[in-house]
Amino acid sequence: MSPNLATTSSTRWFDLADRVLHGHELTDSQALEILAAPDEEILDLLAAAYRIRHHYFGNRVKLNYLVNAKNGLCPEDCHYCSQSKDSDAPLEKYRLMTQEQIIEKAEHAASLHAGTCCIVISGRGPTDDEVEHVAGAVRTIKARHPEMKICACLGLLNPDQAQRLAEAGADRYNHNINTAESYYDEICSTHTYRERLETVAAAKKAGISPCSGVIVGMGETRHQVVESAVALRTLDADSIPVNFLLEIEGTPLASDEEMAARAANPDIDPITPRYCLKVLAMFRFVNPSKEIRASAGREEHLRSLQPMSLYAANALFLADYLTEPGQAPDMDRQMIEDLGFEWEAPQP
Ligand code: SF4
C-alpha cells in the first residue's frame, strides 16, 4: 500500500464519519462504497466506524443472554431456521417452559451480568395464553432484577399482546426483518415482510423499545444488505442484531444446491471475515446512534478477526444462540478486556 493510499483512505472514511456525527444521513451509494471498500482500507474504515461508535457508546459493550423458552414445532418455513417445518436438523423440541424454568434461566443471565435477558419462543406468533405466561415470568424477573432489561421475542404480535407485555415490564421486543424487502420472498413464504413491520410497530406503539435485525449471507446482494440497513433506520429500531448465516445442516439454505448456487453467483458476496467487518461498519454508519449487536455467526464467520467487530458493534450475545453454541462467556469477557473495552454493567 502506498503512503498516499493510506492517507487518502483514512481521510475519506474519517470525513464521512464526521459528517455522520454532524447529522448526515448516509446515502445508499455511500453505504455501498463501504461494502465495496478495498481490503487494504479495512483498518481505516473500522477506525472511522469506531469514531461514531465511541461518540455514542464509549468503549462499553452491552451483553444479551438468550433464553430459548420454546424450541422447534414451528409451522412456518423460514429457510434459514432449524426450527421450521421444512428443517430436518436434529433438534431437541420442547413446548413452552414453565415460568419457573424461564425465571431460572433469567437468574443465570443475571449471574453472568448480562444487561438484557431475551426470552424467545418459536412459532408464528404467541397465543394469548402464551403471552400471559411469559408476562408472568417477566413480572417476577423484573421484581427480582429491576436493573436487568427484558426483551421478549415471541413472533408476530398484535397490539393487545404488545400492551400486555409492556404492562408486565418488558423493556424491549425483538422481531427481525431478517433481510431486504426485495429479497424477503426468497427466504419465507408463510408470513410477510409487512407482518414483520407491523409487529415492530405494535411493540413501539405499546411503549416497548423495538429491536430488529438481519441475517446476512442468505443469498442477498450487496444492494439488498444496504436496503435492509436503511429499512432499519426508517423503522427506527433501537437495537439491531446483525447475524451472519449459520448454515445448519437440514435447513433449506444449507442444502448442497442452495450453497452451490450462492457460491456460483457473482452478485453475492462470500461471507468472509473482512466482508463481515465491512457489513458491521456499514450498519454503524447508517444507524450511528443505535445498539448494533454482532450476533449469531460472529464466531464462525469473523473467526480470528472477531475482536475487531467491536470497533463497529457495541453489543454481543453471551453464551449460546437459540439452537447453536456460541463462544464461552469467559472468552467474551477476555476479548472485551483485551481490547481495553468495558463489559457494561446492567443499568438501574
Ligand atoms: S424463525 Fe421463528 S417463525 Fe421462522 S421458522 Fe424459525 S421459529 Fe418459526
Residues 201-224 pLDDT 10s: 999 999 999 999 999 999 999 999
Q: Ligand 1, closest atom to CA 81?
A: 6
**d(C-alpha 22, C-alpha 2), whole Å:** 31
Q: Is 117 an annotated catalytic residue?
A: no
The pLDDT of 68-82, averaged and rounded, is 91
Q: Give CA–CA dist 345/238, Å, rounded.
A: 19
How far apart CA 70 and CA 123 sit, in angstroms, is 9
d(CA 142, CA 153): 17
Confidence bin at 62 (pLDDT 50/70/90): very high
Q: What is the mean pLDDT of residues 88-99?
A: 90
The SS3 assignment for 221 reads coil
| 198, pLDDT greater than 80 | yes
**Grid coordinates in use for 339?**
481490547
**What does the pLDDT read at residue 5?**
53
Average pLDDT, the chain: 93
Distance 328 CA to ligand 1 centre (A): 25
> What is the position in ligand 1's atom list of the atom closest to the CA of 188?
4
Query: Domain-by-domain residue ranges, the chain?
Result: 3-343
* 276: annotated active-site residue: no
Give catalytic status of residue 211 as yes or no: yes
Q: Does domain 3-343 have CATH number 3.20.20.70?
A: yes
pLDDT in tens, 37-51: 999 999 999 999 999
pTM assigned to the model: 0.94
Among residues 81, 153, 188, 276, which one is catalytic? 81
Say how far apart CA 305 and CA 296 lie, in whole Å: 15
Residue 346 pLDDT greater than 90, yes or no? no
Q: How many other CB atoms sit within 10 Å of the CB of residue 228?
A: 28
Q: Which of 273, 270, 340, 272 is nearest to 305 (CA)?
A: 273
- Which residue do the cell numbers 469473523 mark? 302
User: Please, how many CA atoms are within 13 Å of residue 341, restricted to the half-sphere of its CB?
Assistant: 28
Model pLDDT for residues 231-283, shown as the tens digit of each residue? 999 999 999 999 999 999 999 999 999 999 999 999 999 999 999 999 999 99
From the alpha carbon of 72, which atom of ligand 1 is closest? 7
The answer to whether 300 and 325 have CB atoms below 8 angstroms apart is: no
> How far is Cα 300 from Cα 246, in angstroms, rounded to an integer?
8
Report DSSP state, residue 300.
I
Q: Is the CB of 162 under 6 A from ligand 1?
A: no
Q: Which position among 51, 53, 118, 276 bears the catalytic label? A: 118
* Pick from 46, 81, 114, 117: nearest CA to 306: 46
